[in-house]
Structure 1
Amino acid sequence: MASVQKHQTPAGEPRWRVFWTVTAPDGRSRQQTKTFKTSKEAKQFAGKMTDQEALGIGDVDRMTVAAFFNQWLEEIESRGDKSPTTLANYRRNLDRLSAYVGSKPLVKLSASDLDATYTKMLKTGGKARGTYGKAVRPASVPLSPNTVNSAHRIVHACLEAARRKKLIGVNPVKDATAPKLRKPKARAFTDSEVERLIVAAFAAEERGRLYPGIDLVTLLLMTSGMRRSELLAIAWDAVSFETNTIHIRRTLVENYDHQPILRDVMKTEQSERSIIIPQAIIERLRQHKVRQAEQMMRWGREYMRKPCVLVFPGLAGHPLQPHRLTIVMRQIMRTAKVYGAPPVHGWRHSHATSLLVDGADIVTISKRLGHSKVTTTLNIYAHGDQERDIAASDLAGARLAKLVPTTS
């Protein structure tokens, strides 16, 4: 609790000094003071410090933007109502903002600061993945307008919490201008690209490179439309060889530090579903299970068997880091010389698009993908490509030729 003491300057003028305690992030406490010319100012400040001390904040005038970001993230995490992926997204975006305004005092952060930050993030806000071959990539890369817009919405929620705690008078994000959202231009693989990707995956499996069972992973992605988090969470107790189905009831996600987290929580209620798998894939799953059983025997007790035995695990049966699968599938794409599509999610697009083209009804496709709304399936996954567009043009031309009389 802050206290006020009256004293005199060497010239005999009255002054009021406020004392309060600040707890550092390492848990250590230290006393701070501030002097005022009037008793009223001192008492007002003491009340403010008492409130902030109760919240564990300290002197808000000295609190930086980055410090409050971290405090807010800790509060959100402690409540336990956000998923690991959501928390990782919050931290990732606030870290991006902290790189530009993190050292600024929270009370001095303005809308113009945020506008300038958004402009910089659009130019150099991202981190390159590193090097590939002989090409050395830059240390920073542009961020998309959608990514910066996401950071804008997250920092708005964060600073709104600061406003409610009376740490700031107004939320500066309200007057900042975020980039406009753009509809994602996700695309499906063409038939020729799918052929090259499968060849690349089978070649990698034959040479024992990248990941054991990468050929089966590719075939499952192509024929099921599963999300990355769903594929890596498949356990043998969810595979039925009698009915040729895989029951999707778990997800595997990773936190901000890329640590895998196996959960019994699905994205939506509709995400929990059973998917019928082609017989050829089921036979490959049988063979995969036999090979995995041999590996389990070699590992012995060190192999992870609880809470379940995963179909596509990492070392010694432990959950595979999801981003590792993305890296492997990206390498498959490079080998196949396929570009411009998400390395894992692109298969989901392709599965939905091919079913639509082949005449499957939209309701069945939506349920297979685990969407909560049929419109989501149509708006996001009903893609076309140049080959199919040419075929559609030929069909339209053939029909027109039958209807329009020829001229001599």
Structure 2
Amino acid sequence: MVRRAKGEGSIRYDNRHDRYIWRLKFLGEDGLKHEKYLTAKTKKGLQEKIKEYQSKKEINISDIKLFEWSRNWLIVIKPTIKISTYDYYDMFLRNYINPNLGEKKVKDLTPIMLQEFFNQMVGEIGKKGRPLSATTINGMRRTLKTCLEYAVKNGVIRMNPAATTKPLKKADKKVIALSKKQVIALLSTASKADYIYTDVKQDFIEDEGKKYLRKCYYYAIALDIATGLRIGELFGLTWDDVDFDKFNIMVRRNLQHRSNGRELGTLKTIRSQRLIQIDEKTINLLKEWREYQNRYAKQYHSIFDNDINLVFTNSWGKMYNHTNFYRRYWRKLVKAAGLPEGFNFHGLRHTHATLLLLAGENIKAVSERLGHSSVSTTLNIYYNLVPNLQKHAADTFAKLDLL
């Protein structure tokens, strides 16, 4: 077989039919893969047909622009990937990559051009009004790398120009965890309606639906402090996951906010699926919440429909709304409880881990509760927050009274 350069097709001789065959693979405007065949008795005759075909410019994938290629690429891969992955790629292409590089021809992209683009994005203000982080910019790089790799496989370009670029170094992420005193203040504030009035300029009337939501979030916060669940895992719990007799919770799915709506999805890794033991007081809190939810559901059965048996729902019995929670409840709660500015819900997970480690809990047990892939992950995140781990080890050895 005689092969030509990428994007020019390939020529082979067919012994059975005594003729030369030229084949070209390409991606059509419909986003699907296509093939074009030409045949001739002689190689010269075939080359003339190829030249005529190319001169007519029936297809010219070599001049395709990045925004055209990426649009078709998304169409092709959408049925084959998770909607969360599709949203991830689409967000970076729509918001950052195509507005800056979309008019460039795919064949003209170079590693230096792409590296300069990534470097220049440092400090730029993103769609959320904050400077872009290294994590976000590396997400652009990952998207481009995957998109252009598909161009290589389809013969549009010979090499992937994004493959040899370097990811940006991530800054050390500051982990904020609450002290025991701050946890008590948070729970105390969350248990009362007063914090809802924080920064409210008009009269606020708490009806039964709003009261349900406030109570729901109080019990959710309390459970998260006791378990260290990720927010998606917490709001993805169903009552079937709670074993009141054995005092444990099975974490098996998470709530995901996607372009097609909210859904219960699978966890990121097998290690993330885990059984978490909880104490009696936490079990009693869950019993209190279940009783309240059942009374509410009975009273408002015509509008409350918790058809998937979620532990924490909105006032209609459906999956909680992330935006509503943060704007109307969480931010006010943080301010009213006097917590550090910018403290987010994920900080409750850090708080759970840190308080356990400070109390001398084995780091492997903490790692298993959090669903980390390894103990080293837990150590890397929390070691600096727990400066007395070495002292605890020394005290433990002293108690052995060996010397």
Q: Distance in 2 between matches of 1:354 and 1:45?
A: 75
Give the Cα–Cα distance (whole angstroms) in 1 for the partners of residues 120 and 140 of structure 2: 13
Q: Aligned-pair distance for 1:230? A: 0.9
Counterpart of 2:249, as a letter, is I
Summarize the alignment of residues 46-57 of structure 1 with structure 2, pairs less than 5 Å apart. Answer: 46=53
Shift in Å, 1:22? 6.2
Partner of 2:102: 102
Query: TM-score w.r.t. structure 1 length?
Result: 0.71
Secondary structure of 2:276's aligned partner? strand
More displaced, 179-188 or 220-229?
179-188
1:289 and 1:173 map into 2 onto residues whose CA distance is: 52
What residue identity is the alignment partner of 2:274? R
Alignment of structure 1 residues 34-49 onto 2, 5 Å: 43=50, 46=53
Aligned-partner SS, 1:251: strand
Equivalent in 142, 146, 151 of residue 140 of structure 2: 151
Q: Structure 2 vs 1, CA of residues 23 and 270 (structure 1 numbering), >3 Å: closer, same or farther?
A: closer
2:224 partner SS? helix
Q: Which residue identity lines up with residue 98 of structure 1 in the other structure? A: N
Distance 1:48 1:230 in 2: 58
Q: Which runs of 5+ in 1 are unaligned?
A: 1-19, 28-38, 129-139, 400-408
Range with bigger deviation, 204-213 or 143-152: 204-213
Residue 238 of structure 2 aligns with which residue? 235
Distance 1:217 1:177, change over 3 A: same
Find the aligned partners of 1:112 and 1:269 in 2 and give their Cα distance.
38
| Aligned CA distance change for structure 1 residues 273 and 23 (closer, same or farther; 3 Å) | closer
Letter in 2 for 1:287: E
Contact 2:29 2:72 (8 Å CA) reproduced = no
In the TM superposition, residue 143 of structure 1 has moved relative to its aligned partner by: 0.7
**Percent identity for Structure 1 against Structure 2:** 27
Question: Counterpart in 2 of 1:118?
Answer: 118
2:316 is paired with a residue whose SS is: helix
Alpha-carbon deviation of 1:171? 1.7
> Which position in structure 1 is the counterpart of 2:163?
174
Q: Is the 8 A contact 1:353 1:382 kept in 2?
A: no
Query: Structure 1: which amino acid aligns with 2:110?
Result: S
Mapping for residues 346-361 of structure 1, pairs under 5 Å: 346-361=347-362
SS at match of 1:376: helix
Please give the per-residue CA displacement for 1:261-301, whole angstroms capped at 9, x wherever unaligned.
113x2222232222222322222222221221233234436
Counterpart code for 2:385 = G
Distance in structure 2 (CA, Å) of the matches to 1:59 and 1:237 = 57
- RMSD (Å), alpha carbons: 3.6
CA shift at 1:119, angstroms?
A: 3.3
Task: Give yes or no for the alignment of 1:310 onto 2:310.
Answer: yes
CA shift, 1:227, in A, is 0.9
Q: Which residue of 1 aligns with 2:288?
A: 287
Distance 1:277 1:71 in 2: 49
Q: Judge conservation of contact 1:225–1:369 (CA < 8 Å) in 2.
A: yes
Query: Residue 70 of structure 1 aligns with which residue?
Result: 71
Q: Which residue of 2 aligns with 1:254?
A: 257
CA separation of 1:244 and 1:120: change in aligned 2, threshold 3 A: same
Please say if residues 227 and 345 of structure 1, whose CA atoms lie closer than 8 Å, have aligned partners that are also in contact.
yes
Residues in 1 aligned to 2:56 and 2:273: alpha-carbon distance in whole angstroms? 50
Q: Shift in Å at residue 233 of structure 1?
A: 1.0
One-letter code aligned to 2:236 = A
Whole-Å Cα distance in 2 between the matches of residues 381 and 68 of structure 1?
Answer: 43
Q: Residue by residue, what CA displacement relative to the aligned partner does 1:91-140 show, whole Å, maximum 9, x if unpaired? A: 22233222211233323333343234223422225123xxxxxxxxxxx4
Change (3 A) 1:23 1:375: closer
Take 1:289 and 1:283, find their aligned partners in 2: how far apart are those partners? 10
Q: How does 1:341-380 map to 2 (within 5 A)?
A: 343-380=344-381
Shift of 1:235: 0.9
Change in Cα spacing, 1:269 to 1:285, as seen in structure 2 (3 Å) is: same
Distance 1:312 1:164 in 2: 46
Q: Could you give the per-residue CA deviations for residues 361-406 of structure 1, whole angstroms, max 9, x where no partner exists?
A: 1222122112232222222234417xx67xx7xx99xx9xxxxxxx
Give the total of aligned pairs. Answer: 340
Shift in Å at residue 236 of structure 1?
1.2
The list of structure 1 runs, each at least 4 consecutive aligned residues, that deviate by more than 6 angstroms after superposition, is 47-50
Counterparts in 2 of 1:24 and 1:266: CA distance versus 1, 3 Å: closer
Q: Secondary structure at the match of 2:192?
A: helix
Structure 2 residue runs without a partner (length 5+): 1-25, 33-45, 197-205, 399-403
In structure 2, do the counterparts of structure 1 residues 24 and 272 end up closer, same or farther at CA, with 3 Å as the change threshold? Answer: closer
Question: Matched residues in 2 for 1:341 and 1:180: separation?
Answer: 23
Counterpart of 2:21 in structure 1 is none
Q: Which amino acid aligns with 2:370?
A: L
Amino acid at match of 1:191: K
CA distance, structure 2, for counterparts of residue 89 and residue 309 of structure 1:
29
SS in 2 for 1:174: coil
